[in-house]
């Protein structure tokens, strides 16, 4: 799961302890403007929903007037579509203008985030003003903590210690992170040297690992429809891409989760 780029960062940043929390999902290939629907299809099994096909999601989205070809330029419509296929007790909501601390909080609580961003040629986040808008599913977080033994009782994490990398601990993905660890991390953000997210999207079967910062930068500048995209061919909300996507994500969470 850990890329050479991530491990290189960890080995050159000092006395770090690494906390990784991720849910792996079944990859679904995307062709055409179906990236948002594919992200929903990949998320469905993670929240107890029977496998949902992209075709079924497309039919529902067209019926509801959310899309013409599979494009999803509205986070609000995306949330409504997600809610229609979620199994209890999971729910969805649109969250706006999140900072790094809020994203970290959500992911450590076991939430998932459907996130629009500009995708570069290698699928990593870039800044193209929304002209390369794409959807990804974020299912986990990787945190590098400086001298974590000073703030966290690592003894309680021994059973989660990585077999090959001594300072790497895998937080159980099937349970919310213990409130104690979450509280400690939030109270000691100065100890956090790096935060990465695990992202999945339909154009690559490989899990992406990117900093929260570069993802938020990309998400916050979605303002334009690509010049090769005609408004007549898609359903674009009033106010355009900026109103529909800029600074917005769809959060999927258990209804009993404390926010």
CA–CA distances in Å: residue 181 to residues 103, 178, 252: 16, 6, 21
35 is annotated as an active-site residue: yes
Q: How far is Cα of residue 241 from the mean position of the Cα atoms in its chain?
A: 19
Tokens of 188: 């000691």
Any idea what the Cα angle at residue 111 is, between residues 47 and 213, rounded to 5°? 135
Closest CA to 27 of 173, 125, 174, 136: 136
C-alpha 118/C-alpha 132 separation (Å) is 5
C-alpha 10/C-alpha 21 separation (Å) is 16
Q: What is the DSSP letter of 65?
A: T
Marked catalytic residue, from 35, 98, 126, 246? 35
Q: In the chain, how long is the greatest CA-to-CA distance?
A: 59
Q: How far is Cα of residue 181 from the mean position of the Cα atoms in its chain?
A: 21
Who's near 137: CB < 8 A, 6+ residues apart?
25, 39, 42, 43, 112, 113, 114, 115, 199, 200, 201
**Dihedral sign, CA of 79, 81, 85, 88?**
positive
Residues with catalytic roles? 35
């Amino acid at each position: 799961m850990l890329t050479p780029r991530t491990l290189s960062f960890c080995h050159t940043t000092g006395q770090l302890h690494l906390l990784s929390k991720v849910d792996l999902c079944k990859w679904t290939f995307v062709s055409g403007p179906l990236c948002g629907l594919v992200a929903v299809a990949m998320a469905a099994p993670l929240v107890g929903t029977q496998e949902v096909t992209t075709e079924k999601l497309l039919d529902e989205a067209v019926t509801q007037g959310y899309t013409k070809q599979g494009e999803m330029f509205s986070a609000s419509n995306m949330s409504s579509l997600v809610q229609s296929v979620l199994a209890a007790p999971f729910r969805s909501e649109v969250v706006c203008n999140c900072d790094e601390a809020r994203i970290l909080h959500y992911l450590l609580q076991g939430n998932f985030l459907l996130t629009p961003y500009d995708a570069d040629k290698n699928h990593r986040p870039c800044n193209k003003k929304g002209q390369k808008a794409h959807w990804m599913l974020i299912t986990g977080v990787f945190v590098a903590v400086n001298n974590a033994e000073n703030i966290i009782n690592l003894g309680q994490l021994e059973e989660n210690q990585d077999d090959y990398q001594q300072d790497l601990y895998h937080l159980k993905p099937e349970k919310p992170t213990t409130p104690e660890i979450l509280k400690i991390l939030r109270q000691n953000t100065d100890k956090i040297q790096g935060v990465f997210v695990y992202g999945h999207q339909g154009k690559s079967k490989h899990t992406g690992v990117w900093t929260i910062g570069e993802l938020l930068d990309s998400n916050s500048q979605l303002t334009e429809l690509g010049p090769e995209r005609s408004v007549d061919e898609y359903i674009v909300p009033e106010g355009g891409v900026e109103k529909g996507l800029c600074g917005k994500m769809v959060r999927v969470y258990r209804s009993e989760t404390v926010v």
